[in-house]
């Protein structure tokens, strides 16, 4: 079934003429333009029974009704499983207790950086990853990429055996091929031997490459990362004369000014920076001079949504702003450019606050901007005495690469015929190289081509050999986290397929026959640990990092940057085009993970596709509406994709997102979107100039922004320094029965579970949603089902706007089940499949549910999800990813957030076994555990000292849809408004 | 017009109505009884075929091996655990080493391949039962598994229905015992079992009102 085009047809070109009422909240442009029309469309498009057939005639309808009457009840018939066999171990591992989870510290990698995790394993199967609580970077917190790494491991489309020209081969044959190649390399002293990897921090890989270079001196090791830090490295080298890695202490910043630096956005630093920012933000009230954030950005990012003041600014204007800052700090040759009124206002305020908080402020300049602008930040931070306080520098965490080690140099050599052997390790340049390089056709000139990767991806199909790589959770390895501390990665499961790790393959290149999985890593640490190897090795594996490996500050002084050069000018009719990684599949490395595909992107709430994001102004001028096919022309190159109007995007900016338009790498990866790399240039890879035009035709997009809408008002609230309290609770008149009196008359339950979500700290990063999905076996339904409003996410993050479309203020609101004390859903269920527990959790009993969906229509918060089909089509590998403590729901039952009841029960059992009461805040839900900003807290209302009770006493506390009198257990804290609308 | 019904017609009608009513009542009784029958619950039926005709009567009853010697994780985790082949071989590498009956066990060890047992006590997959908490709260093995020490071949002794579980969750007192008697098949309370049960409930901190809600077992 293909997805339907159900993007509403509204005249979005009118969007610029519409101004909203000052405090009105809107969730999509259609709603802003034509509220009544939008409601009518919604009612028609997402009625409770969204139709399975697009236009059922009367006869077909009657037939279906008859059939469903006849078949009613069959849905409840049980499925046969083979659960009645029991296969004990032959030799049971000593510490293993069947069914009891064990936890191991290790790491998964992202762009070469370690993401330190504590992995949950059941009977030898890793089922969940969370941040390592002992690690200074994650402190137990996680992001969507870390959560979903588990699905990368169990991806059924991973490559399973080595192949030569597409036919499977043995590892012995691979070693034979390497032996033949080695003779060739030796003869030529390595001339023509090239290795290409992604960015890496791995001490073992660096050691192995050094060994290879000793053996074959003329070989060269290239590195390529489609997103990466190349431009930041360039800027730091310009500023300090050497490569360094900057480290920001956001927990010390009273004021942050960001020029297009989305430090809260997805990426290797997200968990660490979001945690630091939130710690400062949560400490003080606005009147006390709390953390303030001023953002100027081209496309809306997560930092922009929580900013005190936000200025949409085209890439060229960001340069002007940087130049103006340079001029304000009297840099030689930096003249003040002309600024508009809004720019002057924003800049005046930002710079004044930076100066007023010397030593406690920070200027950040985004890594997508021209390095000449980025080089300004170190100097300004030096002048503001921020260096050493809010920012410090260390030697580069990742292995630095010079110009001769770039992909550009490699491609030039390939086209000159200077490359004899190319070995591509865990990198996919045939897809992700800038289109301008034409890598895919140059690689054909290389006589010996070997690719190692998790999937048979684009580069694999262009190579003679493809070697399957082991997943990070199956292999020994090492990598450094963003703070420099090194994690020795241990395997949690033996390789599922006939695969080898990067280090094993590097050892094979060096001539080792059938290297053991841990030999290379042990050899590296043998050098570091010396005679203490045994103890320190065990200690490092236990802790999840090697103590004493955290990067230390280097003393560097920023040089005044040379006077800026003017960027390219914009011809008539041209727009500024920026490139960005996709928020959920990044540069394409996650595009075969269905589950990240279905994760709604933070601001657009789109799933399964990338779009050509245009500003409301461009949409007006080009008559583009959401879902119209647009063609972007950059020089000679063209890309076609669906247009999407992004409120708050800078007026002349078009954004293209990577990660889609894949030509290989799995069925899911191939299915969707357009390829933004094809129009990317090698020079100035992040911004360029081009034109856009509308092409006839529509592209069906699945966005969740109009799904599960609530009826009411004041969903999100704001408070200001002058008026720091939400209105007091009204006495709630309700006709719903009081559960705790009528159901449990004599009962005084010891615990009353509740959750409080601080909207001031929520950055909409999706970590909670991802964690919930993994913990609770939430299933993927596919693009077509999402477009019908049937996504299964138990926890959704609503996004609202206020203000006009050109620069709206945005709000995120995570909405799990409210666990109402007076729950409307419980009134509706004819079979008592949803009832209250004594501790106040609204229970959903799958084995009782007959699927009438009455509860869902009674639910004012729209948090219930129905299994329209049997979504359980698992391969054996996918089955292994499931949490064994939670049912996998079948067709025809309703499901919803349970407050992670399996965790509540496990805590109860543990406490009962030890004959003690539950400890304060002992139960932690999956969403709470993941949240990098601690926006979500969960706990016991009966305990006045619990975190959730403390939040409930806050003046910012409010109840969603309080007027309904449902008495929800999940409540919210209003957001502080310390921006221009507020009175701070 | 003549009479259609003979004088006996009334009687037939009454008989028919009585018959109809008893059929309806009978069907209800039959349905309930059927749902509780051994045929449906699988209790007290013939033992299932097993790869090795293992006798609990011999091992647990006559030799007096404690349950936990083989079911090692019964107090630590949700599952009691079936013994790994190595546990069987601790003794059977010394005695009955050539018994044809034990050939599958030796084969399992030699081939490093699990023995494939048929499970006797099976719960539906939406039931999340934990052994450890029941052991911790003084519920003996025999309460659910019956007199295993008298079973030459193991069969399901009790109908493991929701009713069976709830009977105990609602009124645990008569089913509790001191913790040192958990695995005993023959323990009998001296004195009033009800009074002892209530004392144990207090001691173990069991609150029946907290263990009868749905999420106790279903999630």
d(CA A370, CA A316): 10
Over the Cα atoms of chain B, what is R_g? Answer: 25
Question: Higher pLDDT residue, A734 or A943?
Answer: A943
Widest distance between CA atoms in chain B: 97
Extract the tokens encoding A175.
Answer: 């070693």
Q: Taking a C-beta distance cutoff of 8 angstroms, is the pair A497, A527 a contact?
A: no
CB atoms within 10 A of CB A868: 17
Contact B210 A84 (CB under 8 A): no
d(CA B57, CA B80): 19
Residue A208 has a pLDDT of 93
Contact B136 A749 (CB under 8 A): no
Query: Among all chains, which residue has been given the structure tokens 């409080």?
Result: A756
Question: CB-based contacts of A573: which residues, under 8 Å, 6+ apart?
Answer: A691
A125-131 and A628-634: which strand pairing? unpaired
Q: Taking a C-beta distance cutoff of 8 angstroms, is the pair A701, A611 a contact?
A: yes
Question: Higher pLDDT residue, A66 or A480?
Answer: A480
d(CA B146, CA B36): 18
Residue A1 has a pLDDT of 40
d(CA A825, CA A844): 10
Q: What is the mean pLDDT of chain A?
A: 86
Nearest residue in B to A92, CA atom:
B84
**pLDDT tens across A556-611, in order?**
888 888 888 877 777 788 899 999 999 999 999 999 998 999 999 999 999 999 99
Contact B137 A912 (CB under 8 A): yes
Q: From the CA of A826, how many Å to the nearest CA of chain B?
A: 14
* DSSP element (H, E) containing A195: strand A193-197
Q: Is the pLDDT of residue A32 over 80?
A: no
Residue stretches of chain B with pLDDT short of 50? none
Q: Which residues of B touch A88 (CB under 8 A)?
A: 81-85, 114-115, 117
Q: Is the pLDDT of residue A382 over 80?
A: yes
A96-105, A285-294, A317-326, A961-970, range with the lowest pLDDT:
A285-294
Q: Taking a C-beta distance cutoff of 8 angstroms, is the pair A110, A117 a contact?
A: no
Q: State whether residue B11 is helix, strand or coil.
A: helix
**pTM attached to this predicted model:** 0.89
Cβ burial of A249 (10 Å; 0-12, 13-18, 19+) is middle
Distances (CA, A) of A503 to A205, A405, A517, A690, B8: 6, 20, 8, 43, 98
Q: Taking a C-beta distance cutoff of 8 angstroms, is the pair A465, A171 a contact?
A: no
Q: Is the pLDDT of residue A983 over 50?
A: no
d(CA A218, CA A195): 12
Contact A87 B114 (CB under 8 A): yes
**pLDDT tens across A413-465, in order?**
888 888 889 999 999 999 999 988 888 888 888 999 999 999 999 999 999 99
Residue A744 has a pLDDT of 45
Q: Name the nearest CA neighbour of A464 among A412, A431, A420.
A: A420
Extract the tokens encoding B68.
Answer: 């936990």
Measured between CB atoms, which of A744, A836, A846 is closest to B209? A744
Question: Higher pLDDT residue, A461 or A6?
Answer: A461
Nearest residue in A to B136, CA atom:
A913
Extract the tokens encoding B66.
Answer: 């404690």
**pLDDT tens across A894-919, in order?**
999 999 999 999 999 999 888 888 99
Task: Give the mutation candidate from B109, B170, B210, B214 for the A interface (greatest A CB count, under 10 A).
Answer: B214
Residue A15 has a pLDDT of 63
Average pLDDT on A784-795 reads 89
Residue A533 has a pLDDT of 79
Average pLDDT on A668-693 reads 88
Measured between CB atoms, which of A81, A88, A837 is closest to B125? A81
Q: Which residues of A touch B81 (CB under 8 A)?
A: 88, 92, 97-98
Average pLDDT on A314-332 reads 88
Q: Is the pLDDT of residue A736 over 80?
A: no
d(CA A935, CA B41): 48
Residue A48 has a pLDDT of 45
Q: Is the pLDDT of residue A3 over 60?
A: no
Average pLDDT on A669-681 reads 88
Residue A104 backbone phi and psi in degrees, to 5: -130, 140
Q: State whether residue A731 is helix, strand or coil.
A: coil
Residue A743 backbone phi and psi in degrees, to 5: -85, -35
Round to the nearest angstrom and report the end-to-end CA distance of chain A.
Answer: 53
Q: Taking a C-beta distance cutoff of 8 angstroms, is the pair A932, A922 a contact?
A: no
d(CA A258, CA A384): 15
Measured between CB atoms, which of B77, B86, B118 is closest to A98? B77
d(CA B27, CA B42): 22
Q: Which residues of A touch B213 (CB under 8 A)?
A: 835-838, 843
Residue A954 has a pLDDT of 86
Q: Which residues of A touch B82 (CB under 8 A)?
A: 86, 88
CA angle A20, A764, A882 (to 5 degrees): 135
Residue B18 has a pLDDT of 96
d(CA A806, CA A262): 19
Q: Which residues of B touch A83 (CB under 8 A)?
A: 119, 122, 125
Extract the tokens encoding B86.
Answer: 């190595």
Q: How far is CA A19 from the centre of its chain?
A: 32
Residue A640 has a pLDDT of 92
Q: Which residues of B touch A749 (CB under 8 A)?
A: 210
* DSSP element (H, E) containing A577: strand A575-580
Extract the tokens encoding A451.
Answer: 């690719």
Residue A339 has a pLDDT of 87
Q: Taking a C-beta distance cutoff of 8 angstroms, is the pair A501, A469 a contact?
A: yes
Contact B86 A91 (CB under 8 A): yes
A59-68, A159-168, A233-242, B36-45, range with the lowest pLDDT:
A59-68
Residue A17 has a pLDDT of 59
Residue A71 has a pLDDT of 67
Q: State whether residue A722 is helix, strand or coil.
A: coil
Residue A329 has a pLDDT of 87
d(CA A726, CA A723): 8
Residue A771 backbone phi and psi in degrees, to 5: -65, -40
Q: From the CA of B212, how many Å to the nearest CA of chain A?
A: 9
Over the Cα atoms of chain A, what is R_g? Answer: 28
Q: How far is CA A446 from the centre of its chain?
A: 36
Q: Which residues of B touch A838 (CB under 8 A)?
A: 209-210, 213
d(CA B65, CA B61): 8
**pLDDT tens across A620-640, in order?**
888 888 888 999 999 889 999
Residue A124 has a pLDDT of 87
Q: Taking a C-beta distance cutoff of 8 angstroms, is the pair A872, A890 a contact?
A: yes
Q: Taking a C-beta distance cutoff of 8 angstroms, is the pair A220, A405 a contact?
A: yes
**pLDDT tens across B106-126, in order?**
999 999 999 999 888 888 888
- Interface of chain A toward chain B, CB-CB under 8 angstroms: 78, 81, 83-92, 97-100, 744, 747, 749-750, 835-838, 841, 843, 845-847, 885-887, 898, 901-902, 904-905, 909, 912-913, 915
Burial A787-819 (b: 16+ CB within 10 A, else e): bbbbbbbbbbbbbbbbbbbbbbbbbbbbbbbbb
Share of chain A above pLDDT 90, in %: 41
Q: Is the pLDDT of residue A742 over 50?
A: no
Q: Is the pLDDT of residue A46 over 70?
A: no
Question: Higher pLDDT residue, A40 or B99?
Answer: B99
Q: Which residues of B touch A925 (CB under 8 A)?
A: none
Residues in chain B: 219
Q: How many CA atoms lie within 13 A of A10 on its CB side?
A: 23
Q: Is the pLDDT of residue A287 over 70?
A: no
Extract the tokens encoding A267.
Answer: 């990426």
Q: State whether residue A435 is helix, strand or coil.
A: helix
């Amino acid at each position: 079934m293909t997805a339907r085009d159900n993007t509403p047809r509204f005249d979005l070109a009118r969007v610029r003429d519409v101004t909203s009422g000052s405090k009105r909240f809107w969730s999509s442009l259609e709603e802003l333009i034509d509220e009544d029309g939008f409601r009518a469309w919604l009612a028609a498009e997402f009625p409770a029974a969204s139709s399975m057939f697009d236009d059922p005639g009367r006869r077909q309808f009657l037939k279906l009704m008859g059939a469903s009457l006849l078949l009613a009840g069959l849905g409840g018939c049980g499925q046969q499983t083979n659960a009645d066999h029991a296969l004990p171990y032959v030799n049971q591992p000593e510490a293993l207790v069947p069914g009891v989870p064990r936890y191991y510290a290790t790491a998964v990698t992202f762009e070469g950086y370690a993401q330190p995790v504590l992995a949950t394993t059941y009977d030898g199967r890793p089922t969940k990853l969370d941040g390592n609580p002992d690690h200074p970077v994650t402190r137990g917190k996680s992001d969507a990429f870390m959560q979903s790494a588990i699905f990368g491991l169990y991806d059924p489309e991973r490559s399973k055996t080595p192949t030569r020209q597409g036919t499977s081969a043995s590892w012995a044959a691979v070693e034979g091929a390497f032996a033949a190649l080695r003779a060739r390399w030796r003869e030529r002293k390595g001339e023509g031997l090239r290795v290409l990897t992604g960015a890496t921090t791995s001490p073992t890989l660096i050691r192995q490459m050094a060994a290879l270079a000793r053996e074959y001196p003329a070989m060269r090791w290239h590195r390529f990362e489609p997103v990466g830090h190349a431009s930041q490295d360039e800027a730091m080298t310009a500023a300090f004369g050497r490569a360094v890695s900057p480290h920001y202490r956001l927990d010390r910043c009273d004021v942050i000014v960001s020029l297009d630096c989305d430090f809260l956005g997805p990426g290797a630093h997200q968990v660490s920076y979001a945690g630091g920012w939130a710690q400062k933000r949560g400490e003080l009230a606005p009147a006390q001079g709390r953390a303030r954030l001023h953002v100027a950005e081209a496309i809306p990012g997560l930092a922009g949504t929580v900013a005190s003041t936000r200025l949409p600014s085209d890439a060229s204007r960001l340069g002007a702003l940087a130049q103006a800052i340079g001029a304000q700090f009297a840099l030689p040759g930096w003249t003040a450019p002309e600024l508009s009124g809004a720019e002057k206002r924003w800049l005046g305020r930002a710079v004044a606050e930076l100066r007023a908080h010397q030593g406690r402020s920070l200027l950040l300049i985004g890594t997508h901007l021209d390095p000449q602008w980025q080089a300004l930040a170190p100097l300004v931070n030096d002048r503001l005495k921020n260096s050493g306080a809010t920012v410090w520098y260390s030697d580069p965490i990742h292995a630095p690469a010079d110009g001769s080690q770039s992909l550009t140099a490699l491609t030039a050599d390939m086209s000159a015929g200077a490359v004899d052997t190319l070995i591509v390790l865990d990198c996919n340049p045939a897809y992700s190289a800038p289109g301008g390089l034409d890598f895919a056709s140059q690689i054909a000139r290389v006589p010996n081509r070997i690719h190692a990767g998790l999937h048979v991806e684009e580069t694999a199909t262009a190579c003679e050999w493809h070697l399957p790589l082991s997943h990070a959770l199956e292999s020994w390895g090492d990598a450094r986290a963003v703070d420099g501390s090194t994690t020795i990665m241990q395997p949690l499961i033996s390789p599922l397929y006939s695969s080898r790790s990067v280090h094993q393959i590097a050892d094979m290149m060096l001539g080792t026959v059938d290297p053991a999985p841990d030999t290379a890593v042990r050899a590296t640490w043998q050098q570091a640990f010396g005679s203490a190897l045994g103890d320190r090795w065990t200690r490092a594996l236990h802790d999840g990092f090697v103590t004493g490996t955290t990067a230390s500050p280097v003393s560097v002084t920023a040089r005044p940057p040379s006077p800026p050069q003017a960027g390219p000018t914009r011809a008539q009719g041209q727009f500024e085009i920026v490139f960005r990684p996709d928020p959920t599949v990044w540069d394409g490395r996650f595009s075969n993970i269905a589950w990240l595909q279905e994760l709604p992107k933070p601001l657009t709430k789109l799933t399964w596709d990338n779009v050509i994001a245009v500003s409301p102004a461009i949409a007006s001028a080009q008559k583009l509406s959401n879902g119209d096919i647009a063609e972007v022309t950059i020089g000679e190159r063209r890309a076609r994709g669906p247009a999407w109007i992004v409120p708050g995007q800078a007026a002349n900016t078009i954004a293209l997102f990577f990660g889609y338009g894949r030509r290989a790498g799995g069925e899911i990866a191939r299915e969707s979107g357009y390829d933004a790399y094809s129009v990317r240039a090698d020079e100035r890879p992040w911004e360029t100039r081009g034109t856009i035009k509308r092409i006839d035709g529509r592209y069906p997009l699945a966005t969740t922004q109009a799904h599960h809408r609530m009826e009411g008002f004041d969903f999100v609230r704001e408070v200001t320094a002058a008026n720091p309290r939400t209105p007091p609770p009204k006495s709630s008149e309700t006709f719903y029965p009081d559960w705790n009196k009528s159901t449990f008359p004599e009962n005084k339950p010891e615990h009353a579970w509740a959750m409080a979500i601080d909207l001031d700290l929520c950055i909409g990063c999706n970590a909670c949603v991802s964690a919930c999905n993994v913990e609770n076996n939430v299933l993927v339904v596919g693009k077509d089902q999402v477009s019908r409003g049937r996504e299964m996410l138990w926890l959704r993050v609503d996004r609202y706007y206020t203000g006009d479309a050109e620069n709206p203020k945005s709000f995120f609101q995570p909405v799990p089940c409210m666990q109402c004390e007076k729950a409307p859903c419980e009134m509706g269920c004819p079979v008592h499949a949803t009832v209250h527990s004594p501790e106040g959790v609204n229970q959903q009993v799958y084995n009782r549910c007959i699927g009438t969906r009455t509860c869902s229509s009674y639910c004012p918060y729209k948090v219930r999800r129905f299994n329209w089909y049997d979504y359980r089509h698992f391969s054996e590998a996918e089955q292994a990813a499931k949490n064994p403590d939670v049912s996998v729901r079948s067709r025809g039952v309703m499901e919803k957030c349970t407050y992670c009841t399996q965790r509540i029960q496990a805590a109860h059992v543990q406490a009962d076994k030890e004959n003690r009461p539950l400890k304060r805040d002992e139960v932690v839900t999956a969403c709470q555990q993941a949240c990098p900003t601690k926006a979500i807290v969960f706990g016991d209302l009966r305990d006045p000292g619990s975190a959730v009770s403390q939040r409930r006493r806050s003046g910012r506390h409010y109840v969603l849809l309080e007027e309904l009198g449902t008495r929800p257990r999940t409540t919210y804290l209003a957001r502080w408004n310390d921006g221009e609308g507020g009175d701070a | 017009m003549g009479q259609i019904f003979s004088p006996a017609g009334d009687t037939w009608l009454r008989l028919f109505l009585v018959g109809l009513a008893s059929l309806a009542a009978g069907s209800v009784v039959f349905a309930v009884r059927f749902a509780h029958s051994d045929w449906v619950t699988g209790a007290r039926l013939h033992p299932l075929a097993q790869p090795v005709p293992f006798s609990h009567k011999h091992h647990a009853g006559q030799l007096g091996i404690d349950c936990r010697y083989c079911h090692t994780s019964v107090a630590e985790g949700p599952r009691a655990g079936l013994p790994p082949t190595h546990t069987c071989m601790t003794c059977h590498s010394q005695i009955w080493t050539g018994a044809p009956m034990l050939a599958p066990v030796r084969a399992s060890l030699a081939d490093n391949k699990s023995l494939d047992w048929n499970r006797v006590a099976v719960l539906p997959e939406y039931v999340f039962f934990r052994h450890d908490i029941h052991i911790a709260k003084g519920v003996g093995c025999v309460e659910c598994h019956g007199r295993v020490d008298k079973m030459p071949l193991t069969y399901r002794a009790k109908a493991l229905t929701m009713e069976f579980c709830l009977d105990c969750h609602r009124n645990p007192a008569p089913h509790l015992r001191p913790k040192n008697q958990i695995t005993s098949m023959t323990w009998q309370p001296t004195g009033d079992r009800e009074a002892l049960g209530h004392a144990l409930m207090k001691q173990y901190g069991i609150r029946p009102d907290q263990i009868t809600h749905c999420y106790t077992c279903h999630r």
